[in-house]
């Protein structure tokens, strides 16, 4: 086998590995990203659906429709919700959109706080 043919085989193998690696990264990224929406878009949708004064069941219904994980803390009258692994997450870092929904004594929405959290190396 000539030096030229060895070089061509080496380049072909290298390109094949690069293609396989890019396919693997794409598949892992697709599996890891459960919410394919941008954080600002999701936050805007939530805020537009939930005007101040919305009831607790209305807020919970909206969070379920958006497939957000949430829990209610009765002591502080606050719902904590999260959209995990939103658009912008990748194999190394996770991007989450976190919400706090505050309620008054009659269980009506008084404010919404939103924050993006990154985790990773």
pLDDT in tens, 51-102: 999 999 999 999 999 999 999 999 999 999 999 888 888 888 889 999 999 9
How far, in Å, CA of 49 to CA of 64, rounded? 13
Q: With H, G, I as helix, E, B as strand and everything else as coil, classify residue 109.
A: strand
Give domain limits for the chain: 1-32, 35-119
pLDDT in tens, 17-60: 676 666 655 555 555 445 578 899 999 999 999 999 999 999 99
pTM, to two decimals: 0.71
How far, in Å, CA of 53 to CA of 95, rounded? 29
């Amino acid at each position: 086998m000539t030096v030229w043919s060895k070089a061509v085989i080496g380049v072909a193998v290298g390109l094949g590995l690069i293609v396989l690696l890019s396919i693997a990264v794409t598949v892992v990224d697709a599996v890891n990203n459960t919410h394919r929406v941008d954080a600002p878009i999701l936050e805007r949708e939530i805020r537009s659906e939930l005007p101040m004064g919305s009831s607790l069941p209305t807020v919970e219904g909206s969070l379920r429709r958006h497939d957000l994980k949430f829990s209610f803390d009765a002591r502080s009258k606050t719902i904590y919700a999260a959209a995990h692994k939103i658009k912008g997450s990748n194999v190394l870092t996770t991007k989450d959109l976190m919400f706090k929904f505050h309620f008054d004594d009659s269980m009506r929405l008084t404010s919404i706080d939103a924050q993006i959290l990154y985790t990773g190396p």
